[in-house]
């Protein structure tokens, strides 16, 4: 991971699990990645599921989910809606709207509970399963895309 002071550093850890390729991005990403910055990764029939979390933002915005297919935004939502937007956006919002509402996510006051419920909805609806230990603790290949060398 880039050092906290390396604001121009971008690194990606990547791997696969159960036929699903994934990448975890670290670093300073304005106008490069984040909500709605998929940069053509969903072309040619690819399904891209993006979970964007700003760990260093002092306002602590909620994680944001976005789904892209064939280079188009399909749907997305804030994974903590109580004090943030309760809107489920995109032309395919109906893919997840009923599940999000049934899980009580819009009314959930506890941030962590809303995050867990949101992840459960996404896992079930899109058949996604990435073990937490793999993402957070496993030794994965890493690519430095820009900035300082990893230390």
H-type alpha helices, 92-131? 97-102, 111-126
Encode pLDDT of 53-106 as tens digits. 776 665 667 788 889 998 888 999 999 888 888 899 999 999 999 999 999 999
According to the model, what pLDDT value does residue 38 have?
61
According to the model, what pLDDT value does residue 135 have?
80
Q: Which residues of 43-78 are buried (b: 16+ CB within 10 A; e: fewer)?
A: eeeeebbbbbeeeeeeeeebbbbbbbbeeebbbbbb
According to the model, what pLDDT value does residue 39 have?
65
Mean pLDDT over 134-138 rounds to: 82
**Does residue 52 register a pLDDT over 60?**
yes
Question: What angle (nearest 5°) sits at the alpha carbon of residue 120, between those of residues 118 and 121?
Answer: 65
Encode pLDDT of 24-36 as tens digits. 777 765 555 555 5
Is this structure's pTM higher than 0.85? Answer: no
Nearest to 49 by CA among 95, 80, 6: 95
* Reported confidence tier of residue 6, pLDDT bands at 50, 70, 90: very low
Which H helix or E strand runs over 138?
none
Instruction: Report the residue count for the chain.
Output: 151
Q: What are phi and psi of 31, to 5 degrees?
A: 60, 15
Contact status, residue 131 vs residue 115, Cβ threshold 8 Å: no
C-alpha–C-alpha distance, residues 149 and 66, integer Å: 30
67, two tokens: 């789904």
């Amino acid at each position: 991971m880039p050092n906290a002071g390396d604001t121009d550093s971008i690194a990606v850890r990547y791997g696969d699990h159960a036929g699903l390729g994934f990448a975890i991005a670290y670093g300073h990403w304005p106008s490069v990645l984040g909500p709605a910055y998929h940069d053509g990764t969903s072309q040619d029939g690819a399904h891209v599921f993006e979970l964007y979390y700003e760990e260093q933002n002092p306002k602590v915005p909620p994680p944001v989910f976005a789904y892209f297919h064939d280079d188009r935004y399909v749907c997305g939502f804030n994974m903590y809606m109580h004090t943030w937007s309760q809107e489920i956006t995109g032309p395919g919002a109906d893919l997840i709207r009923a599940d999000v509402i049934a899980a009580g996510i819009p009314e959930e006051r506890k941030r962590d509970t809303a995050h867990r419920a949101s992840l459960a909805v996404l896992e079930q609806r899109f058949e996604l399963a990435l073990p937490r230990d793999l993402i957070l603790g496993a030794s994965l290949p890493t690519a430095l895309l820009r900035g300082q060398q990893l230390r």
